[in-house]
Amino acid sequence: MTAIRLLLVDDDPLVRAGLTFMMGGADDIEIVGEGADGDEVEALVDRTRPDVVLMDIRMPNVDGLAATERLRGREDAPQVVVLTTFHADEQVLRALRAGAAGFVLKDTPPAEIVEAVRRVAAGDPVLSPAVTRQLMEHAAGPGPDTRRTHARTRIAVLNDREREVAVAVGRGASNAEIAAGLFMSVATVKTHVSRILAKLDLNNRVQIALLTYDAGLLEELEEDGH
């Protein structure tokens, strides 16, 4: 089995040391490099070719938001998981909109951080139901009406089945859960997700989820009693 190549980026050496220690017990994860600021990330990625970057949001020169945007704009970009001390705030939303595959709290139990890296490397976003609720509450932000109109226009390109899958992704459902709920195979779900990403020009499932929040689709779902 090929080990997951992981790059750590955090300006606090103690945090990096702690992450290195906890990852050291995972046989399937290899730390290929460390960085202390966002301005180092692109050069480190070119040199170490990581599968996943675990990156702090707040850094002194170039923060994790800008670094994530730069990385996700590249071809064959690694997945990014942002580290934060907050459960949800505008910075986290910006990171997810920039293409981060999810985020973990710095006080998350070590085993869960290790599992988050594994999940993201496998293509699954780190977005728990509890987090989706917080994101829904924070997603409106400035200009919610304009954002909703824009989101609904984008969502309109999806057919009915793709829209159902997009809403399920927005609820934080896994491929297996979507397959069971919509009576289709997991392979078919994956095909729909790939088509949704292509049609909407998005990077990952988290961005699908955020677009469904912006469009108000989950609010409609709750109003219908689902």
pLDDT in tens, 79-100: 999 887 765 566 667 777 778 8
Q: Supply the CATH classification number for the domain 138-215.
A: 3.40.50.2300
Q: pLDDT value at position 183?
A: 95
Of 179 and 210, the structure prediction assigns the larger pLDDT to 179
Distances, alpha carbon 53 to alpha carbons 20, 112, 151, 193, 215, in Å: 13, 16, 28, 23, 29
Tokens describing residue 142: 């400035």
3-class secondary-structure state, position 6: strand
Q: Tell if the pTM clears 0.85, that is, is over it.
A: no
Is the confidence at residue 219, as pLDDT, over 60?
yes
| Spans of all domains in the chain | 4-126, 138-215
Checking 24-30 for CB contacts under 8 A at 24+ apart, the result is 25/114, 26/114, 26/118, 27/3, 28/1, 28/3, 28/4, 28/118, 29/3, 29/4, 29/114, 29/117, 29/118, 30/3, 30/4, 30/5, 30/6
CA 222/CA 226 separation, integer angstroms = 5
Q: Tens digit of pLDDT for each residue in 160-171?
A: 999 999 999 988
Does residue 43 register a pLDDT over 80?
yes
Q: Which fold has domain 4-126?
A: Rossmann fold (3.40.50)
pLDDT, tens digit, for every residue of 116-137? 899 889 877 776 555 555 565 5
